Amino acid sequence: MNPVDFLTDLLNPDLAFLPKALAVAVMSSVVCGVVGTHVVLRGMAFIGDAVAHAVFPGLAVAFVLSGNLVLGGTVAGVLTAVLVAVFAQNRRLKEDSVIGVFFVAAFALGIVIISRAPGYAGSLQQFLFGSIAGIPDRDVWVVGITGAAVVAAVLLLNKELVTVSLDRESARAMGLAVFRLDLVLYVLVTLAVVISVQTIGNILVLALLVTPAATARLLTDRLGVMMALAPTIGALSALVGLYVSWSWDLPTGGTIVLVLTAAFLLAWFFSPRRGVVASWRRPRRRPVDATPAEAATVPAGVTA
């Protein structure tokens, strides 16, 4: 299918689910790209994966009760994050150990809860791998409004979040409420995960949080540019992934992740400053303490 045919399908009234799927995929990618910048900056990819597990029981309860998925997932994610923050105060256990205990337990609780719902197998597959074609109209509005609120919160607290990410002790010395900012970031990550689950599934949602931001990190050293690049990369990958999946009848979530991974690999190899190819072409400098004999072995044309 060529792009013109894809555009025709997007405008086809009989395929009304397709533009909704594209809108939700792009909005989720933008939100995850913005929040994911701080996830990558802190080196807390494990937190993103853990939050994806933590929201599952809330999603399961909301699904069984026919309630709001965003509300259910948010309550579960925030409650689990608070439990982790409290139990992590015991210095006999490292934070990652506490995270491993509570977030995996939350995921297991979600599986038990959703097993009580009719059509258990289909419901579980929908949550784990996404069901972008079946998104109702109200969820498009929920994703849009929630996503806008998350992005606004990140921009409003960007300076404080960056300060905590770069140096927690200095942030405390400056009088910043580090613990509260950690909880705020957990909540923002939780919301980003919840609104993305329908697009890409609970298992693959980490890719939306980490891969666009990691790709942007390879392309720039400036945080502001990184925060603009990450959602752009995510949105374009969502568009290309949906196009490829629709053209070749492939799973949408998995295809979007593969497109994101391809973008990351391109940046890894061909980034102008940090790419592998650029490092091969970069002249090698002679060691400062090289002896005259060692200096004579430096190839001609290479800057010493």
Q: What is the predicted pLDDT for the residue at 66? A: 77
Per mean pLDDT, which range of 90-104, 169-183, 197-211 is the poorest? 90-104
Please report which helix (H) or strand (E) contains residue 179, including its range. Answer: helix 178-219
Helix runs in 43-177, H state only:
45-54, 56-64, 69-87, 95-114, 120-129, 137-156, 158-166, 168-173
Judge if pTM exceeds 0.75: yes
Tokens of 56: 């599952």
Q: Name the band, by pLDDT with cuts 50, 70 and 90, for residue 37.
A: very high
Q: What is the pLDDT of residue 295?
A: 44
The answer to whether 95 and 84 have CB atoms below 8 angstroms apart is yes
Quote the pLDDT of residue 157.
93
Confidence at 238, pLDDT banded by 50, 70, 90:
very high
**For range 213-225, the mean pLDDT:** 91
Structure tokens at 276: 């592998």
Measure the CA–CA gap between 54 and 74, rounded to whole angstroms: 9
Render pLDDT for 60-70 as a digit per residue (tens, 0 to 9).
888 788 777 77
The Cα–Cα gap between 215 and 210 comes to: 9
pLDDT above 60: residue 163:
yes
At residue 285, does pLDDT exceed 80?
Answer: no
Which amino acid would we find at residue 265?
Answer: L
Domains of the chain: 3-273 (1.10.3470.10)
Q: What's the confidence (pLDDT) of residue 93?
A: 66
Judge whether residue 161 has pLDDT over 60. Answer: yes
Which residues are CB-contacts of 171 (< 8 A; sequence separation ≥ 6)?
160, 163, 164, 178, 181
Per-residue pLDDT of 18-30, as tens digits, reads: 888 888 889 999 9
Read off the pLDDT band of 303 (50, 70, 90).
very low
Give the number of other CB atoms < 10 A from CB of residue 67.
Answer: 13
Quickly tell me which residue has 């990410």 as its tokens.
165
Judged by average pLDDT, the poorest of 45-49, 164-168, 239-243, 297-301 is 297-301
Comparing 96-110, 116-130, 210-224, the range with the smallest average pLDDT is 116-130
Mention every residue, 6+ apart, whose C-beta is less than 8 A from residue 7: none
The CA distance from 90 to 87, in Å, is 6
- The pLDDT assigned to 125 comes to 62
- Which of 57, 46, 111 is closest to 79 using CA atoms? 57
